[in-house]
Amino acid sequence: MPVHNADIAAVFDEIADLLEIENANPFRVRAYRNASRTLQGLGRDISGEVQDHELALKLPGIGVDLSGKIVEIVTTGKCQALEKLRKETAPGLPDLLKLPGLGPKRVGLIYHELDVHTPEQLLRALKDGRVQQLPGFGDKTADRLMEALETHIAETPRMKLASAAQYAEPYAEYLRATPQVGEVVIAGSYRRSRETVGDIDILVAAQDSAPVMQRFVSYDDVKEIQAQGPTRATVFLKNNLQVDLRVIAPESFGAALHYFTGSKAHNIAIRRRGQQRGLKISEYGVFKGKKRIAGETEESVFAAVGLPWIPPELREERGEIEAAVNGLLPVLVELSDLKGDLHAHTKATDGHNSLIEMARAAQQRGLHYLAITEHSKHLTIAHGLDQKGLLKQVEQIDGLNAQLRDFTLLKGIEVDILEDGSLDLPDMVLGKLDLVIGAVHSNFHLPRAKQTDRILKAMDHPHFTILAHPTGRLLNQRDPYDVDMSRIIRHARQRGCYLEINAHPERLDLLDTYCMMARDEGVMVSINSDAHSTTDFDNLKYGVGQARRGWLEAGNVINTRALTELRKLLRKTM
Q: What angle do CA 402, 407, 411 make, to 5 degrees?
A: 70
211 contacts: CB under 8 Å, gap ≥ 6: 178, 179, 180
Q: Is 548 helix (H, G, I), strand (E, B) or coil?
A: helix
> From start to end of 97-146, where are the E strands?
none
541-559 mean pLDDT: 97
51 has pLDDT over 60: no
What's the pLDDT score for residue 422? Answer: 96
30-35's contacts with Cβ under 8 Å and 24+ in sequence apart are 31/63, 31/66, 32/66, 34/61, 35/9, 35/61, 35/62, 35/66
Cα–Cα distance measured from residue 499 to residue 557, given in angstroms and rounded to the nearest whole number: 10
154-163 mean pLDDT: 76
Per-residue confidence band for 135, with pLDDT thresholds at 50, 70 and 90: confident
Answer whether 127's CB lies under 8 Å from 153's CB: no
The domain ranges of the chain are 5-153, 159-248, 253-325, 335-571
Percent of the residues in the chain that have a pLDDT greater than 90, as a whole number = 66
> Which contiguous run of DSSP H or E holds residue 282?
strand 280-282
Q: What angle do CA 199, 203, 204 make, to 5 degrees?
A: 145
Nearest CA to 437 out of 415, 422, 457 is that of: 415
Cα–Cα distance measured from residue 206 to residue 218, given in angstroms and rounded to the nearest whole number: 18
Answer whether 528's CB lies under 8 Å from 345's CB: no
To the question of pTM greater than 0.95 for the whole model, the response is no
Cα–Cα distance measured from residue 527 to residue 541, given in angstroms and rounded to the nearest whole number: 9
Determine the angle formed by the axes of helices 5-21 and 80-88, rounding to 10 degrees. 30
Per-residue confidence band for 2, with pLDDT thresholds at 50, 70 and 90: low
Cα–Cα distance measured from residue 276 to residue 264, given in angstroms and rounded to the nearest whole number: 19
Answer whether 413's CB lies under 8 Å from 440's CB: no
What is the average pLDDT value for the chain, to the nearest integer? 90
pLDDT tens string 297-326? 999 999 999 999 999 999 999 999 999 999
Amino acid at 570: L
The count of other CB atoms within 10 Å of the CB of residue 34 is 16
Instruction: Write out the CATH class of domain 253-325.
Output: alpha beta
What's the pLDDT score for residue 489? Answer: 96
Q: What angle do CA 90, 95, 100 make, to 5 degrees?
A: 130
Does 413 or 144 have the greater pLDDT score? 413
Phi, psi of 294 (to 5 degrees): -165, 165
Answer whether 502's CB lies under 8 Å from 476's CB: no
Cα–Cα distance measured from residue 537 to residue 193, given in angstroms and rounded to the nearest whole number: 18
The count of other CB atoms within 10 Å of the CB of residue 448 is 19
19 contacts: CB under 8 Å, gap ≥ 6: 25, 28, 29, 32, 85
pLDDT tens string 188-222? 999 999 999 989 999 999 999 999 999 999 999 99
DSSP assignment string, 346-368: -TTTT-SS-HHHHHHHHHHTT-S
9 has pLDDT over 60: yes
Cis peptide before 263 (omega within 30 of 0): yes
What's the pLDDT score for residue 117? Answer: 75
Answer whether 261's CB lies under 8 Å from 192's CB: yes
User: What is the layout of strands, in order, in the sheet containing 280-282?
Assistant: 280-282, 285-288, 291-294
Amino acid at 227: A
167 contacts: CB under 8 Å, gap ≥ 6: 200, 221, 237, 239, 241, 243
DSSP assignment string, 240-280: --EEEEEEE-GGGHHHHHHHHH--HHHHHHHHHHHHHTT-E
6 has pLDDT over 80: no
114 forms bridges with which residues in the sheet?
none
Nearest CA to 47 out of 304, 272, 281 is that of: 272
Cα–Cα distance measured from residue 542 to residue 194, given in angstroms and rounded to the nearest whole number: 9
178-187 mean pLDDT: 95
Cα–Cα distance measured from residue 505 to residue 160, given in angstroms and rounded to the nearest whole number: 7
CATH architecture of 335-571: Alpha-Beta Barrel (3.20)
Q: Is 523 helix (H, G, I), strand (E, B) or coil?
A: coil
The count of other CB atoms within 10 Å of the CB of residue 223 is 11
Per-residue confidence band for 132, with pLDDT thresholds at 50, 70 and 90: confident
What's the pLDDT score for residue 496? Answer: 95
Cα–Cα distance measured from residue 29 to residue 20, given in angstroms and rounded to the nearest whole number: 6
What's the pLDDT score for residue 61? Answer: 67
In angstroms, what is the C-alpha Rg of the chain? Answer: 26
547-560 mean pLDDT: 98
Strand pairing category for 280-282 and 285-288: antiparallel
pLDDT tens string 225-243? 988 989 999 999 988 889 9
Give 5-153's CATH code, choosing from 3.40.50.300, 3.30.2010.10, 3.40.50.2000, 1.10.150.110. 1.10.150.110
Determine the angle formed by the axes of helices 119-128 and 104-114, rounding to 10 degrees. 70
pLDDT tens string 240-299? 889 999 999 999 999 999 999 999 999 999 999 999 999 999 999 999 999 999 999 999
What's the pLDDT score for residue 380? Answer: 80
Per-residue confidence band for 63, with pLDDT thresholds at 50, 70 and 90: confident
Answer whether 408's CB lies under 8 Å from 427's CB: no
> Is the domain covering 159-248 a CATH 3.40.50.2300 domain?
no
pLDDT tens string 427-474? 999 999 999 999 999 999 899 999 999 999 999 999 999 999 999 998
141 has pLDDT over 90: no
392 has pLDDT over 70: yes
